[in-house]
Amino acid sequence: MKFKMHNNKQALPLVMGILNVTPDSFSDGGKTVDRDSVIRAAEMMAKSGADLIDIGGESTRPGANIVSVDEELARVLPAMDWIREACDLPISIDTYKTEVMREVLSKGVWMINDVNALQAPGALELLAQHDVKVCLMHKQGTPQTMQASPSYENVVEEVMSFLKNRLEKCQESGLQLSNICVDPGFGFGKTLQHNVELFGSLEVFQQLNCPVLVGVSRKSMIGALQKMDLNESRLAGSLAAAIVAMQKGAQILRVHDVPETLQALRVASALGLHN
């Protein structure tokens, strides 16, 4: 699969299906940890046209608990095997821990999706030794405290300059630019206003010359943009956001609801919306 290019399905963004193997994930927590449910989820994503599957073994939602390397590996490694039994989709691992990266790289992972943008000690050096995709995400603070008081002078400029700096560091360390995508990190140390400003300026991130990944699926900003009960489904709002992200040039969308997202993107595209 090409990374930088559109897939050949009507120039849609790549759709990355989220498969959490954590007991505390905010929206499908606890439902996908055993073998059968992982296989079922992966088969469903493959059948509905996902381009890759993102496995997360530690929740990074606001306030979530840190898990040990061993615990994270105990969740992620079997899930990789089960997904491979179920389908041949490329696998992304959502981790910021160098030790976890090392293990999954030895099992031939396709992408390292790092909410910490390879800032952990040894992460850059490790990734430089592998031909693997990587997603560099911006966040302010840590998942434990990041929503306490996010603050920026200019959120778009600050996120841009962080990502630019990380891209430079990656290239200095020997990573290939063609393997890297960037992500403004919606909801990671951002108020609703910050998220809205970033989304409004998504096109600006094209200047970084690598694919832009957007993850807003079911996030609290979707609910907060209109008055909504906490337990109400955020699916419709997430689909609207996916379409706008496509229009603003996002090349990878990280989503929970793969068939619904693809339906929305295909219809939007068939009716004249372009990436």
Active site (catalytic) residues: 219, 254
Other C-beta atoms within 10 Å of 275: how many? 17
* 94 in contact with ligand 7PJ (CB under 6 A): yes
**Scanning residues 158 to 177, which ones bind ligand 7PJ (CB under 6 A)?**
none
**Scanning residues 54 to 73, which ones bind ligand 7PJ (CB under 6 A)?**
60-61
Question: Is the Cβ of residue 126 or residue 137 nearer to ligand 7PJ in the bound state?
Answer: 137
Output the CA torsion sign for 94, 100, 105, 106.
negative
* 135 in contact with ligand 7PJ (CB under 6 A): yes
Q: What order do you get walking across the sheet with 252-255 strand by strand?
A: 180-183, 133-137, 111-114, 91-94, 52-56, 14-20, 252-255, 213-214
Give CA–CA dist 265/159, Å, rounded: 27
Give CA–CA dist 225/218, Å, rounded: 12
* 146 in contact with ligand 7PJ (CB under 6 A): no
Q: How far is the CB of 233 from ligand 7PJ (least distance, A)?
A: 15
Q: Please name the residue that has the structure tokens 């599957």.
A: 53
User: DSSP class of residue 13?
Assistant: P
* 215 in contact with ligand 7PJ (CB under 6 A): yes
Q: Considering only 126-134, 154-162, 182-190, 196-204, which stretch makes contact with ligand 7PJ by CB under 6 A? A: 182-190
Q: Which residues bind ligand 7PJ (CB under 6 A)?
A: 60-61, 94, 113, 115, 135, 137, 183, 185-186, 213, 215, 219, 254
